A and B are shown apart, each in its own frame.
Chain A
Amino acid sequence: GAVVSQHPSRVICKSGTSVKIECRSLDFQATTMFWYRQFPKQSLMLMATSNEGSKATYEQGVEKDKFLINHASLTLSTLTVTSAHPEDSSFYICSAAWGHNQPQHFGDGTRLSIL
């Protein structure tokens, strides 16, 4: 149980393109979803937290106009990287939790490469 699906697993696109990443909880309703960014050989850095039906809460230093997050339902959250540039290339991982005192369950990540 507690499966989180993330799609696509890999994206390669040109600079200036906007890229949408989907995160779905397949067998539970996720009240909260989280988006992380991971640079090579580094730890995960939380970008934002989203609750279903409300605006995402962004961490300090994360541009909300650059990284658009939508959490329209209890099973789906999307991260859109707008006008992506090479410095946005990274590994993006989502996670989902179904309530307080519940651990986060992670997707398999999306490798984003901007040329």
Chain B
Amino acid sequence: AQSVTQPDIHITVSEGASLELRCNYSYGATPYLFWYVQSPGQGLQLLLKYFSGDTLVQGIKGFEAEFKRSQSSFNLRKPSVHWSDAAEYFCAVGALSFGNEKLTFGTGTRLTIIP
């Protein structure tokens, strides 16, 4: 079965600083990988996804992520964070099950931005 680990429960960065959120996955085949962001009391918004091809994936809001098969990682990065980036971030791995793609989520990383 697939699994996702987000080692950092909470990260605090200054506005304008760079950001990297870690994600490690476990899956027996080539994974489908996703990063979602959740604001308090709301659903999830897709930031970016990796299915195949270029291992550096560009997403919305200036985010990018790099798939590294050798490290089983899919870390999320942003060169300069904005106060509006404060939210909960979830990494997820997708796998086909009975013809449907099921997502397994990590436990999330809460991002706090300080002025």
Interface residues of A (CB under 8 A from B): 4, 6, 32, 34, 42-44, 46, 49, 51, 57, 91, 93, 95, 97, 100-109, 111
Contact = CB atoms under 8 A, between A and B. Distances in A.
B31 interface: no
Given A43-B90, A101-B51, A103-B34, A108 B43 contact: yes
Given A43-B107, A44-B90, A111-B41, A100 B101 contact: yes
A106 B98 contact: no
A106 B100 contact: no
B105 A106 contact: no
Contacts of B98: 49, 57
Contacts of B51: 101
B43 A32 contact: no
Interface string B36-67: 10000111111001010000000000000000
B42 A42 contact: no
A107 B43 contact: yes
Contacts of B106: 43
B27 to A, nearest CB: 16
A106 B101 contact: no
Contacts of A103: 34, 46, 49
Given A49-B100, A107-B43, 6 more contacts: A4-B43, A6-B43, A34-B102, A93-B44, A95-B44, A101-B51
6 contacts: A43-B105, A57-B98, A101-B101, A103-B34, A103-B49, A106-B46
